[in-house]
Amino acid sequence: MTGSRDLWQFPGTKTAAFAVIVYLYLPILVLIVLSFNASDSSLARWEGFSTHWYAMVAADDNMLNAIRNSGIVACIATLFGTAIATAAALGTARTRFRGQTVVEALIGLPLIVPDIVAAIAILLFFVMIGIKLGLISLVLAHTVFAIPIAYLPIRARLEGLDPALAEAAADLYANPWQTLRRVILPLIWPGIVSGAMLAFIGSLGDVVVSYFVSGPGSTTLPVYVFSMVRMGVTPTVNAVSTLLIAASVSLLTASYLLGRRFS
Amino acid sequence: MSALSRRSGLLAPAMLAIGVLLVLPLGLMAYVSTLERGSDGGVIWDRHTLDAYVQFLFERDLMDNLALNTDYLGIFARSIGLAATTAVLTLAIAFPTAMWMAFQPPSRRTFLLFVVTVPFWTNLLVRNYSWILILRNGGFLDFALMGTGLRHEPLNILYSPLATGIGLVYSFLPFMILPVYVSLEKLDRRYIEAAFDLGADRLRTLIRIILPLSMPGIVGGLILVFVPCLGAFVTPALLGGGKSLMIGSLIQQQFGQARNWPFGAALAFVLLAIILAALWVHAMRFRRPTRSAA
């Protein structure tokens, strides 16, 4: 390349970027590698490949129960959250109305309030109105956080839509419901799917809110792992952590590929 | 059906869910902070007192006189200091990276963005836990340093404020890279070309053109890191041990061992107030003429 192109290469930024990418991934890689370590001390010394710790995960009934709870809560919260977010995005995208700033601030509120504050506020609310802490309280709390996460990609997709398409549908005598079903929803589908995936990952990863609003029998996986880690490091935690990483990375990759295919 | 009623119908579920399950609870939390503590934990719903806020600033001595107690203020100050340091450190690390990413060809940018976002979406607990494996005595870092002969004994840094800092910077780095990247990517390249054409070198272009124009992203990133850092609970609990209490852990204790709900609610309310004040200042500084956006 000629000199003008070289000018854009600020010295050191490339090295810094690669260092940052290594920094971001190294701890995760260490964790994944150690989850296959035959040694039971979980120190850094490699003592041969083994899937023993994964077998331990599969044999731990409490862990399996926590995985099941996490799955149930994440699925239901994602379903509710995404449906509510889709409706909200249809109501706010490509329009200006009085009170819009307030509406949008409210939708974003769960992402602004610190986890710990939201968690104890919701806990106090459940205690006051007498909702028993368990799967239902978890689903309700997780739905609130799923809404803004799913809202953002759906809304972005709607903003990118050509308004002429909805107008053409109206010209051809489609009523608003038919326009929504036949024109808008198929076009924003990738946004909805990627919003749902992010909401699912968010729900699956939540520790703080779940820590406060889960009951004795309804521990979610991250809460269970959190209490295990506080007791002490065991290689079983490495294995179940690797499984959690695998779940979010595969969902993210699917969401990324989907976005690329439809953009 | 009119556009207005259709819009109301679309927005109602979201407003209802967030209103009932978050706004109302936050109001309730503020209310609980003014209640009297029950003898068995919990609260007495009809007895009001400002004891929780008094306890935040003062302690009662044996003669029942109030004396200023800086313990809790100290924890707030330490948390604010740690959150601010984390925000500045992440900016220093993120800026060159975001700059390199933003000046790549567009096709590669999407991929790099994905690479940087993956850790952000990976479970926060897992990411913090992985640092235990690295920092603990005989962990990966000791193994690497002692294996190469750089050190002869363990570093012993797990369960310290330093470890909390490392974990916070690591956890929130993507929160900084993304907004800085977005503002750099949107920046009109012609300004930079003009600076070069007019004979400015890279450093001058960086300081006079690129930094000022990416300021919204920088400030946005500082806030995105500072706010969750201030309320951090998982990182100090896992990496900081018991020695470096932060606001988040202090609030949790009031609902755990201490069983003092009004005090916990008051602490959470003060934390929320600090954060809303910071956001409000930011919104006022960067207020744009809203009409032109329409």
pLDDT tens digits, residue range B60-74? 777 777 777 778 888
Q: Residues spanned by CATH 1.10.3720.10 within chain A?
A: 60-262
The contacts of residue A211 (CB under 8 Å, 6+ apart) are A119, A223, A226
The contacts of residue A210 (CB under 8 Å, 6+ apart) are A73, A138, A141, A142, A220, A222, A223
Higher pLDDT, A48 or A136: A136
What gap in Å lies between CA B278 and CA B265, rounded to an integer? 20
Residues of B within 8 A of A25 (CB-CB) are 119
Give the best residue of A80, A107, A120 to mutate against chain B (max B CB count within 10 A). Answer: A120
Q: In this predicted structure, what is the pLDDT of residue B154?
A: 75
pLDDT tens digits, residue range A140-179? 999 999 999 999 989 988 988 888 888 888 888 888 888 8
Q: Is B44 on the interface with A (CB under 8 A)?
A: no
- Give the distance from residue A42's alpha carbon to the nearest chain B alpha carbon, in angstroms: 8
- Residue in chain B closest to A29 (alpha carbons) equals B130
Three-state DSSP at A31 gives: helix
C-alpha distances out from residue A106 to A97, A165, B18, B25, B286, Å: 15, 30, 7, 14, 20
The contacts of residue B230 (CB under 8 Å, 6+ apart) are A114, B79, B80, B83, B247, B271, B274, B275
Reference A125, options B21, B269, B261; nearest CA is B21
Residues of A within 8 A of B142 (CB-CB) are 44
Q: In this predicted structure, what is the pLDDT of residue B259?
A: 82
pLDDT tens digits, residue range A76-108? 999 999 999 999 999 988 778 888 889 999 999
Q: In this predicted structure, what is the pLDDT of residue A262?
A: 65
pLDDT tens digits, residue range B75-125? 899 899 999 999 999 999 999 999 999 888 888 888 898 888 888 888 888
Q: In this predicted structure, what is the pLDDT of residue A151?
A: 94
State chain A's mean pLDDT as an integer.
Answer: 87
Q: In this predicted structure, what is the pLDDT of residue A37?
A: 83
What predicted TM-score, i.e. pTM, was given to this entire model?
Answer: 0.86
Mark the ranges of chain B whose per-residue pLDDT is less than 70: 1, 41, 242-243, 286-294
Closest CB to B275: pick one of A28, A114, A127.
A114
- CATH class of the domain comprising A60-262: mainly alpha
Reference B113, options A221, A73, A256; nearest CA is A256
Q: In this predicted structure, what is the pLDDT of residue B210?
A: 86
Closest CB to B22: pick one of A30, A118, A241.
A118
Sole residue written with tokens 């984390």: B86
- Give the distance from residue B20's alpha carbon to the nearest chain A alpha carbon, in angstroms: 9
Three-state DSSP at B250 gives: helix
Closest CB to B139: pick one of A16, A24, A44.
A44
pLDDT bracket for residue A43 (50, 70, 90) = low
Closest CB to A121: pick one of B26, B174, B196.
B26
Say yes or no to pLDDT of A74 above 90.
Answer: yes
Q: Write out residues 119-138 of B within 8 Å (CB-CB) of A.
A: 119, 121-127, 129-134, 136, 138
Q: In this predicted structure, what is the pLDDT of residue A70?
A: 94
Q: In this predicted structure, what is the pLDDT of residue B292?
A: 39
Q: In this predicted structure, what is the pLDDT of residue A1?
A: 39
- Residue in chain B closest to A30 (alpha carbons) equals B130
Q: In this predicted structure, what is the pLDDT of residue B64?
A: 74
Higher pLDDT, A43 or B4: B4
pLDDT bracket for residue A194 (50, 70, 90) = confident
Q: In this predicted structure, what is the pLDDT of residue B118?
A: 87
Contact B17 A143 (CB under 8 A): yes
Architecture in CATH of B71-285: Orthogonal Bundle (1.10)
